[in-house]
């Protein structure tokens, strides 16, 4: 089993910020994230600029990195799309992988996309099929899978039924997103364990926010449950503007540091990520949530091997 790191800072990390980051700065940050060896970087989303001004230059960014002399050799560039127009724009500017999702909360779905769950699911599945037909990677997610700031508890059976529709339509890379930060480790183990029972061959991804300080504990619970794709944001930036409490993502450099101590993610260098986080902290003129920004790496005599099944292959990479 190989661990894959999906950096969502340029999209989820910046979308809630009031100060718009200029395109040149974003390019410099993405270049450093690529240099760190991160596997996937979510460059942006195709949304209306009046709703999310930070994402107004997403097409410009993708076209910049599609130039032959600048196209990453190993890093996949992803984007979030919410509707057919977003997919069209993404296909036109060279997105490598499309992330598409449906909220398990009717209220959040309506606020985020203007669609109810059933309509959003039908349209997302059709869009995903189109993207695959164009030779693109696709990740389908259930948003607000662990709880909703508007509706509170989300029944696990509802989440599993939504995933089953994705799987029956032929999609195997599935993410559960903790959009409102409500997840806790026991819940993470239960839901991802249930997905493993549904189909052991699924490529499982997780996306956690740190609203109540359980983000890293949830990451570890997901790892032990067989999740291989981990989404995070440099400096712990981020949050959905359409939920009740906007809180940051699990911090990328903190996550990489924890995995390094367990002998995981050897191909990712934390140094360039920390450089980006320090620049972001200076730009936004406030202390950001990342712990490594304050403490630096833990003094250690060496890594300690993790005990989740199959991880020895990742350590030997």
Q: Is 148 a catalytic residue?
A: no
| Cα distance between residue 4 and residue 230, in whole Å | 6
Q: Which of 99, 148, 206, 240 is catalytic?
A: 240
Please tell me the distance from the alpha carbon of residue 317 to that of residue 315, in angstroms, as a whole number: 6
Question: What's the rounded Cα separation, in Å, for the pair 137 and 6?
Answer: 13
Active site members: 240
């Amino acid at each position: 089993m190989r661990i894959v790191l999906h950096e969502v800072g340029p999209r989820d990390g910046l979308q809630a910020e009031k100060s718009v980051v200029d395109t040149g700065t974003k390019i410099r940050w993405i270049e450093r994230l690529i240099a760190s060896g991160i596997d996937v970087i979510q460059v942006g989303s195709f949304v209306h600029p009046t709703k999310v001004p930070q994402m107004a230059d997403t097409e410009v960014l993708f076209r910049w990195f599609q130039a032959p002399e600048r196209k990453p050799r190993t890093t996949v560039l992803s984007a979030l799309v919410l509707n057919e127009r977003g997919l069209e724009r993404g296909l036109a500017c060279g997105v490598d992988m499309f992330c598409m999702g449906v909220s398990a909360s009717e209220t959040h779905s309506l606020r985020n996309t203007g669609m109810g769950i059933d309509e959003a699911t039908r349209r997302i599945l059709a869009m995903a099929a189109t993207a695959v037909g164009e030779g693109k990677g696709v990740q389908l997610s259930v948003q607000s899978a662990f709880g909703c700031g508007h509706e509170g508890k989300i029944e696990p059976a509802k989440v599993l039924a939504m995933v089953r529709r994705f799987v029956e339509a032929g999609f195997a890379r599935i993410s559960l997103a903790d959009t409102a930060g409500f997840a806790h480790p026991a819940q993470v183990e239960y839901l991802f364990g249930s997905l493993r029972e549904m189909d052991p061959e699924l490529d499982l991804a997780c996306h956690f926010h740190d609203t109540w300080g359980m983000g890293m504990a949830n990451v570890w619970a997901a790892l032990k449950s067989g999740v291989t794709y981990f989404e995070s944001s440099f400096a712990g930036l981020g949050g959905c503007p359409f939920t009740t409490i906007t809180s940051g993502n699990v911090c990328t450099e903190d996550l990489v540091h924890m995995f390094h101590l367990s002998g995981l993610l050897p191909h990712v260098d934390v140094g360039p990520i920390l450089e980006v986080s320090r620049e972001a902290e200076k730009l936004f003129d406030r202390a950001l949530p990342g712990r490594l920004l304050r403490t630096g790496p833990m003094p250690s005599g060496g890594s300690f091997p993790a005990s989740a099944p199959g991880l020895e292959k990742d350590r030997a990479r």
